């Protein structure tokens, strides 16, 4: 018998629900919040998720029924328990609890960061990688060791995606800024020195963002975007390389929305090549926030009996990946 789990993601900008089995994604329905101006507004994003939650879930259930699966036969309902924006997390958790009670199916709260990692391992040949997880709010270098995903290095302030988006906004570029910056950066090879901040195994981006804003007063958009990327990405590649050396692992997996960036991939690829390590990137649909990754981690947890129950389904906006006991490896 196949295990089938429904998962709901909604930590920030993307409301997405999916059903997966051991082998693949059976169905996924997504409804994206796009701010009219500025960046993500937590309350507006939560209102967006509340408005669309029932249609997204209904569409998903219709779709699996058409594929011959009775929703009552799903094995578990998984949802993003954190980290994320509080109002968004609460909205999605409420929808997941209702679904769990209505269908009488166990509920599983999952860690969003670990979901990014596990979907990457599922959809690439990576087995035991050092992971560079780069998203809007999070930037971490992680690897599995003795029952947990340990954080070897991380941002001391904002995530790289938020740093890119913030700089882009101040430069008059629309949200999300990451892809726009990549577009401008491609048209320059003129490096302007910007603050390169690595402390031990951690890195920091807010000084870089401020300096890049100032640099726009005397340098072109192309040159500043190029220099921002070169600086920030080199910082993270350096820490990823040291994590490889420390753990003795020989694979790197890139996860999170910023992983769409081709220059970041190129830099990681060169570093891995020089060290004789393999470098893996999943398909783009599994890089940014998506329902399939939540469903898949829910499936791994369900199969290893990590089911906490509805009384433990409270959300945690600062939920750290190294707080989770990994029962499925």
Contact window for ligand AMP (CB under 6 A) among 76-84, 193-201, 219-227, 252-260? 252-260
Dig out the tokens for 61 from the structure: 């259930």
CA angle 58, 62, 66 (to 5 degrees): 170
> Nearest distance from residue 50's CB to ligand AMP, in Å?
20
The answer to whether residue 176 forms part of the interface with ligand AMP (CB under 6 A) is yes
- Rounded Cα distance between 49 and 42, Å, is 11
- Rounded Cα distance between 125 and 110, Å, is 23
Nearest residue to Mg ion by CB is: 135
- Applying CB under 6 A, among 98, 260, 307, 308 the residue interacting with ligand AMP is 260
The answer to whether residue 178 forms part of the interface with ligand AMP (CB under 6 A) is yes
**Of the two residues 132 and 164, which places its CB atom closer to ligand AMP in the complex?**
164
Number of residues in contact with ligand AMP, rule: CB under 6 A?
Answer: 18
The answer to whether residue 83 forms part of the interface with ligand AMP (CB under 6 A) is no
The answer to whether residue 261 forms part of the interface with ligand AMP (CB under 6 A) is yes
Site for ligand AMP in 102-141 (CB under 6 A): 135-136
| Residue 229 contacts residue 263 (beta carbons within 8 Å) | yes
Number of residues in contact with Mg ion, rule: CB under 5 A?
Answer: 2
Alpha-carbon distances of 167 from 194, 255, 264, 297, rounded to whole Å: 13, 22, 18, 33
- Applying CB under 6 A, among 161, 291, 298, 321 the residue interacting with ligand AMP is 161
- Rounded Cα distance between 130 and 137, Å, is 20
- Applying CB under 5 A, among 287, 289, 296, 321 the residue interacting with Mg ion is 289
| Residue 159 contacts residue 134 (beta carbons within 8 Å) | yes
- Nearest C-alpha neighbor of 15 from the set 65, 88, 124, 81: 88
The answer to whether residue 118 forms part of the interface with Mg ion (CB under 5 A) is no
When CB distances are held under 5 to 8 angstroms depending on the partner's kind, the choice from ligand AMP, Mg ion, none that residue 161 binds is ligand AMP
Q: DSSP state, 172?
A: T
| Residue 19 contacts residue 4 (beta carbons within 8 Å) | yes
The answer to whether residue 155 forms part of the interface with Mg ion (CB under 5 A) is no
Contact window for ligand AMP (CB under 6 A) among 2-10, 157-165, 188-196, 302-310? 157-165
The DSSP annotation for 87-147 comes to HHHHHHHHHHHHHHHHHT--EEEEEHHHHHHHHHHHHSS-SS-EEEEE-SS-EEEEEEETT
The answer to whether residue 135 forms part of the interface with Mg ion (CB under 5 A) is yes
> Nearest distance from residue 182's CB to ligand AMP, in Å?
4
List residues near Mg ion by CB under 5 A.
Answer: 135, 289
List residues near ligand AMP by CB under 6 A.
Answer: 12, 135-136, 161, 164-165, 176-179, 182, 256-258, 260-261, 288-289
């Amino acid at each position: 018998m196949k295990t089938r789990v429904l998962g709901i993601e909604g930590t920030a900008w993307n409301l997405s629900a999916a059903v997966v089995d051991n082998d693949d994604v059976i169905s996924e329905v997504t409804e994206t919040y796009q701010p009219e101006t500025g960046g993500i507004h937590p309350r507006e994003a939560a209102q967006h998720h509340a408005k669309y939650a029932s249609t997204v879930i209904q569409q998903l259930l219709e779709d699996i029924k058409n594929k011959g699966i009775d929703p009552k036969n799903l094995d578990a309902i998984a949802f993003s328990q954190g980290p994320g924006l509080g109002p968004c997390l609460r909205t999605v958790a409420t929808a997941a609890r209702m679904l769990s009670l209505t269908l009488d199916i166990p509920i599983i709260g999952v860690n969003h960061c670990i979901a990014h990692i596990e979907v990457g391992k599922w959809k690439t040949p990576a087995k035991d990688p050092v992971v560079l997880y780069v998203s809007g709010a999070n930037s971490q270098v992680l690897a599995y060791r003795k029952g947990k995903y340990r954080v070897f290095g991380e941002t001391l302030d904002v995530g790289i995606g938020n740093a890119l988006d913030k700089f882009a906004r101040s430069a008059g570029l629309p949200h999300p800024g990451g892809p726009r910056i990549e577009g401008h950066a491609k048209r320059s090879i003129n490096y302007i020195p910007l603050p390169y901040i690595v402390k031990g195994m951690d890195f920091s981006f807010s000084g870089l963002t401020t300096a890049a804003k100032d640099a726009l007063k005397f340098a072109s958009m192309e040159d500043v975007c190029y220099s921002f990327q070169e600086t920030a990405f080199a910082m993270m590649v350096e820490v990823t390389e040291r994590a490889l050396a420390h753990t003795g692992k020989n694979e790197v997996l890139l996860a999170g929305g910023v992983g769409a960036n081709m220059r970041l991939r190129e830099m990681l690829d060169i570093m891995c090549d020089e060290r004789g390590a393999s470098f893996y990137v999943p398909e783009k649909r599994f890089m940014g926030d998506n329902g399939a990754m939540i469903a898949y981690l829910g499936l791994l947890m369900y199969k290893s009996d990590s089911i906490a129950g509805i009384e433990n389904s409270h959300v945690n906006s600062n939920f750290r990946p190294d707080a989770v006991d990994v029962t499925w490896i």
